[in-house]
Chain A
Amino acid sequence: MRPVIPYVTAALLFGLGGYGVLRRRNAVLVLMAVELMLNAVNLVLVTADTTVRAVLPHSGQVFALFVIVLAAAEIGVGLAIVLQLYRLRASVTVDDVPLAERSSEGAAR
């Protein structure tokens, strides 16, 4: 097995995910691109498990499982935020999210 093949696959997937995070305006599509990046990291971990003989066997695969759990938690909270944003503003465009408006709104109330 040539480890360079999955490693290069993972690097390209990570680049695609970064491109998607910066390019997309729809929040759900941004989350999909984040999933691509997380999966690239998983592929690196699993491949490293085959190439590096660690003291503890299969550490890379255990870490990959942990990353999958983290991704599940992230997507749950992320989608809750996105749906709440949609309920408030009727749009999920990340460009339109007001980052500084909250304090003035609170003062007006």
Chain B
Amino acid sequence: MRKLLILFVTIWLTGCGYNDFQLKDEQVKAAWSEVLNQYKRRADLVPNLVSVVQGYAQHEQAVFIGVSAARASVGNIQATPELINDPAAFAKFQEAQGQMTSALSRLMVVVEKYPELKADKGFRDLQAQLEGTENRITVARNRYIQSVQDYNVLARSFPTNLTAKMFDYTVKPSFTVENEKAISDAPKVDFTPAPAVQGK
């Protein structure tokens, strides 16, 4: 009698987790859309930023080429919500965005050499927007990591993993520490133009 009771209560309280999966799946999707949204916002900022910097620093061709190459590779990836169900495409997307981050920080290093540019009002506003967007990306990424963690714990732990198997809910990819490191590494300032890109 007692065992039956405990079993009943366990099922009652934890359930099979089906509804939890629906909820957490939607949360992951929403968090991912926000990540895409903020990355898009950054990509939209790039042309303005480049044109302002170019006005003061025409000779920094290598850096501009780096930025526009990064922007092109980011634009080549279909940034769709379905990306989170394809780990390979997800990794590629991350790599492209990481390149964008380092190309932009290289650009900002170059800016340090031009005091008039740094004093330009238009540039300062753009710089503030870039800083704000980078921070929004960080926040969106952290929230995505958190939501994926919640989802994956549900997909792996007993007894909800049985539900996950039954309905084919697989573990979702997240941002990993390795590419976090690649992104936060200080960019190498290299003024020799990249031949592969120049041939274009």
Co-complex (A, B):
no
Residues of chain A having any CB pair with chain B under 8 Å: none
